[in-house]
Every structure is written in structure tokens, then in C-alpha cells.
Structure 1
């Protein structure tokens, strides 16, 4: 299991090409196309699949979504878990909300999307 506090991040954008140009200019990074699990989602990873170690992330464009709204946050950080349903099971008792229960993300494992007690969106990620 990943031993970093955060294992993945997503920065949501309304124009992925504009965002790629911005981050490439500011950080000097290249982006790599990622296959998405939904036709309405375009993803570009900050690291190539061969170089994804510890923490990596992606720019994400959701067709028709406006960033910084209830339906589309601006950023999501994902916390690694052994089985994200365990941590998900504690979210509501701690004052949070489950947005999307544990779901498969194909060969990349599983994730849950939640909102913390302060209204921040975060994700839980596990391989089982």
C-alpha cells in the first residue's frame, strides 16, 4: 500500500487544453492522456504511467460541468486505504457525507467520493 498521506489528486477544469498549457508553462511538466471510465470525462495525467510513484494526479474535464459547483469541485485529493469501504463507513458518523459509494475504477482499484465536516470534497482509494 502507498505510504504517502495522499495517493492521488485531481484538478478539475472546464478547458483541459488551457489547463495543460498553464501547468506546462508554470511547472514545466508534460501531460499524458489517460483513458477515462466515462465518455463524458477527459483526463490528462501529470506523470507517465511508468513514472507514477507515490503521489501523482491528473487534470480532469467533465463534459458540461462547471468547476467550483456542487456537481464539480475544483480539486479532489485521494487518501490511500486498504479497503475504502471501511473508511467510507465512518464518514457520516464523523459529520461528513458520502457522495459516491465505493466504485470500481477498473485496473486502478476502487474509490469513494465524500465530503468532510467542513464541506471539502475528498476521495478514498484502495486496490480491494
Structure 2
């Protein structure tokens, strides 16, 4: 049995990315670092390397999300996003978005669990 937490990352889904950044920066007196890829825009909350971090996110994968439940995505770490997603689907889960290369930061994928919750997967390996 693994003794470490599988929690890797969290995302707060936005529909108006710039408005959300302004809100959180003002509310918490912080400054986001930004990164963008073909699949998403992230505004990363300040955090210490080695600890769980998170971001505001805007992505075409989340365009159907409505405010409220299901708009904060928790990412669980795994050894292989592909293998974990295959196992989840075999157990009745459903892929929300496919394995996606996020460059030097590894790979992510999203799934809907048996309760209908959206959950993310992260790993350095595909």
C-alpha cells in the first residue's frame, strides 16, 4: 500500500480567465505566474516546489462547465496517466479529456468517476 498522498494539483475552472485572475489576486494579495499551451491557459497560484500547487484554468475541455460543483478539478498523481485511465474506464469511469502532453510538466488526463465527479490525473510518464 502506498503511504504518500496521491494529490498532485488542483484547478479552478474559469470561463472569464482575466476576470478570475483579477479577483483572486485582489482577494488574496497574490500575483499569479502564467503559462499557456495549445490546450489551456493557467494562472498558477504561488507555491513552494515540492508541495501541492494549483491554478486558475481556462480550456476548451471545460467550456461546458457551469459555475459551482464540478468546476474545481483535483489532480491525482500516478505512475502512468495512460494505464491509470485504462483502469478507470474498465471500472466504469469515463474519459472527460484524453491524455494530454503538457511539456516538461508531464501528462494529464481527465475522467468522470462512478459518482459523476470530474477528476484529473497527472504523471511525468504517458
TM-score range, shorter-chain basis?
0.7 to 0.9
**Normalised TM-score (structure 2):** 0.78
Show CA shifts across 1:45-95 (max 9, x none): 1127xx3332111111236935328xxx51211101111222212212322
Q: What RMSD in Å do the two structures reach over aligned CA positions?
A: 2.4
Q: Offset of 1:114 from its aligned partner? A: 0.6
Taking structure 1 as the reference length, the TM-score comes to: 0.77
Q: Which residue of 2 aligns with 1:10?
A: 11
Equivalent residue for 1:123?
120
Partners of 2:97 and 2:64 lie apart in 1 by 19
Question: Which ranges in structure 2 are unaligned for 5 or more consecutive residues?
Answer: none
1:110 alignment counterpart: 107
* Paired residue secondary structure (1:7): strand
Segments of 5+ residues of structure 1 without an aligned counterpart are none
Determine if contact 1:79/1:123 at 8 Å carries over to the other structure. yes
Distance in structure 2 (CA, Å) of the matches to 1:42 and 1:86 = 26
Residue 29 of structure 2 corresponds to: 28
Matches of 1:55 and 1:36, distance apart in 2 = 21
User: How many residues are aligned here?
Assistant: 119
